[in-house]
């Protein structure tokens, strides 16, 4: 069951490569939140109840509801163009993200000597790489944040793979989540929206040599 969920997560990464509209990105993030809810429920069922409830609450309320709704609100409020405006053609994005999946598959099979759960490792590393890829190749500031949230989800999966031994790690991952969502998303996105006409990275090129 866990494997099916993780494979769905990996497929959602590929789908992110061809997604054109910002609302599709938001939906993908929400779906990833539900997948993480499922994975953490199955994985962490043995740890103590309060901790479990906290983590589940975080995935379902934060990742699945609050962040997508908030992103929607930001897009509406700042009149952001609804297209993602990638620098690369969609086809190439899909090929590259597939290469990431393949690469992390090979990497997880090369590494020996440590009892790592391959599926978790594979999906986490490819989420990290695809998140960075999305940050680099998309034009909008809001898609940068979405790329960051994908990285975040990858880190969450990685921490789940060690989670039933060390719930403390999962918790600190969650604090990282809250830190970023509240500060970065809330304060600065709105500021940038108020200061510049369009929320593009082109506006952020004044500091250079």
Partner 1 sequence: MFGYYLIIGFLIGIVSMLNRNCMVRIILLSTFLAVQTAITVYAYFHLNEISSGYFKSDALGVIFLCVLTILSFTTFYHSFIYLKHRKDSSRSQSFYFAALIMLIIVMTCAYLASHLGVMWVFIELTTLSVAVLIYHERTPLSLEATWKYVFICSIGITITFIGIILLSIAIGETEITNFSFNAIPAQLLRVNTSWLKMIFLFMIVGFCTKMGLFPMHTAAIDAHTVAPPPISAFISTTLMNVGFVSIFRTYSIFAHTSILPWMNTILFLCGLISIIVSAAYLLKVTHLKRMSAYSSIEHMGLAAIGIASGGIGYFAAIFHMILHSFVKASVFYQIDQFHRNFKTYMINETGNYFNRNLPGALVFLLILISITAMPPSGLFVTEFWIFKALFTSEHIFIFILVLFFLSIAMYSLAKNFLYILFNQTKDLLPAQEKPNPSETLTQYFLLALVFYLGINPPSGMINLIQEAVKNLL
Angle (nearest 5°) at CA 79 between 149 and 148? 10
What Å distances lie between residue 163 and 49, 55, 80, 89, 168, CA to CA? 14, 11, 38, 38, 8
User: Which segment (7-15, 38-46, 95-103, 175-183) binds partner 1 by CB under 8 A?
Assistant: 175-183
What burial class does residue 46 get, using C-beta atoms within 10 Å of its C-beta: 0-12 exposed, 13-18 middle, 19+ buried?
A: exposed
Task: Report if residue 193 touches partner 1, rule: CB under 8 A.
Answer: no
User: Which segment (3-11, 16-24, 89-97, 166-174) binds partner 1 by CB under 8 A?
Assistant: 166-174
Task: Give me the least distance between CB of 190 and partner 1, in Å please.
Answer: 11
Angle (nearest 5°) at CA 70 between 66 and 76? 150
Q: Taking CB under 8 A as the criterion, which residues in 134-163 touch partner 1? A: 135, 141, 144, 148, 151-152, 155, 158-159, 161-162
**CA distance from start to end of the chain:** 53
**Distance, CA of 25 to CA of 37 (rounded, Å):** 19
User: Which segment (4-12, 30-38, 88-96, 201-209) binds partner 1 by CB under 8 A?
Assistant: 201-209
Contact by Cβ (8 Å): 100, 163: no
User: Which segment (2-10, 29-37, 89-97, 177-185) binds partner 1 by CB under 8 A?
Assistant: 177-185
Beta bridge partner(s), residue 83:
21
Task: Report if residue 114 touches partner 1, rule: CB under 8 A.
Answer: yes
**Distance, CA of 181 to CA of 67 (rounded, Å):** 8
Task: Give me the least distance between CB of 89 and partner 1, in Å please.
Answer: 25
Which residue among 18, 47, 96, 180 contacts partner 1 (CB under 8 A)? 180
Task: Report if residue 178 touches partner 1, rule: CB under 8 A.
Answer: no
Interacting residues with partner 1 (CB under 8 A): 110-116, 124, 128, 132, 135, 141, 144, 148, 151-152, 155, 158-159, 161-162, 165-166, 168-169, 172-173, 175-176, 179-180, 183-184, 188, 191-192, 195-196, 203-204, 206-207, 209
């Amino acid at each position: 069951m866990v494997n099916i969920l993780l494979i769905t997560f990996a497929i959602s990464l590929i789908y992110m490569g061809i997604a054109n509209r910002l609302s599709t990105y938001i939906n993908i993030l929400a779906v990833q939140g539900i997948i993480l809810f499922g994975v953490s429920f199955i994985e962490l069922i043995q740890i103590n109840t309060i901790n479990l409830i906290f983590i589940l609450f975080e995935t379902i309320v934060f990742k699945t509801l609050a962040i997508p709704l908030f992103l929607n609100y930001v897009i509406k409020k700042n009149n952001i163009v609804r297209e993602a405006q990638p620098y690369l053609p969609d086809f190439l994005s899909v090929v590259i993200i597939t290469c990431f999946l393949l690469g992390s598959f090979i990497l997880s099979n090369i590494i020996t000597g440590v009892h790592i759960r391959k599926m978790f490792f594979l999906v986490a590393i490819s989420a990290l790489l695809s998140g960075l890829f999305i940050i680099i190749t998309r034009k909008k500031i809001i898609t940068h944040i979405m790329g960051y949230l994908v990285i975040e989800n990858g880190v969450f999966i990685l921490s789940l793979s060690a989670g039933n031994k060390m719930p403390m790690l999962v918790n600190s991952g969650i604090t990282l989540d809250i830190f970023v969502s509240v500060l970065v998303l809330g304060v600065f996105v709105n500021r940038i929206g108020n200061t510049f006409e369009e929320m593009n990275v082109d506006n952020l090129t004044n500091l250079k040599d």
